[in-house]
Amino acid sequence: MADAVTATAANGAGQQQQQQQHRPTMQQSPDETGRRIVPVLACVLNQLCARNDQLVMDPDSVTKFHALRPPSISILDYLERIGKYSACSGECFVLALVYIDRIISSNHNFTVNSLNVHRLLISSVMLAAKFFDDQYFNNAYYAKVGGVPCHEINSLEVEFLFMINFSLFVTTGEYEQYYTELCNHTVNSGCTCQTDAGVPPLEPIPRAISAPIPTPVAPAVVVDAVPVKPRRSKRTSTRRSSARIVSQ
Average pLDDT of the segment spanning 27-34: 64
Under a CB-based contact definition with an 8 Å cutoff, are residues 145 and 85 in contact? yes
- Integer Cα distance of 83 and 105 in angstroms: 26
Give the domain ranges of the chain: 27-224
Segment 59-90, tens digit of pLDDT: 878 999 999 999 999 999 999 999 999 999 99
Q: With bands split at pLDDT 50, 70 and 90, how would you rate the model's confidence at 211?
A: very low
Which residues touch 142 (CB under 8 Å, ≥6 apart)?
86, 122, 126, 153
Higher pLDDT, 74 or 214: 74
A 10 A CB-CB count for 182 gives 19
State the pLDDT at residue 243: 53
List the one residue out of 130, 191, 199 whose CA is nearest residue 166.
Answer: 130
With residue 118 as reference, give the H or E element that holds it: helix 117-132
State the pLDDT at residue 18: 43
Please give the C-alpha separations between residue 95 and each of 2, 158, 169, 213, in angstroms, as whole numbers: 57, 17, 9, 15
Please tell me the CATH superfamily of domain 27-224, with its number: Cyclin-like (1.10.472.10)
Under a CB-based contact definition with an 8 Å cutoff, are residues 5 and 53 in contact? no
List the one residue out of 121, 95, 82, 76 whose CA is nearest residue 178.
Answer: 95
Segment 110-158, tens digit of pLDDT: 999 999 999 999 999 999 999 999 999 999 999 999 999 999 999 999 9
Q: With bands split at pLDDT 50, 70 and 90, how would you rate the model's confidence at 228?
A: very low
- The conformation of residue 86, written as its DSSP 8-state character, comes to H
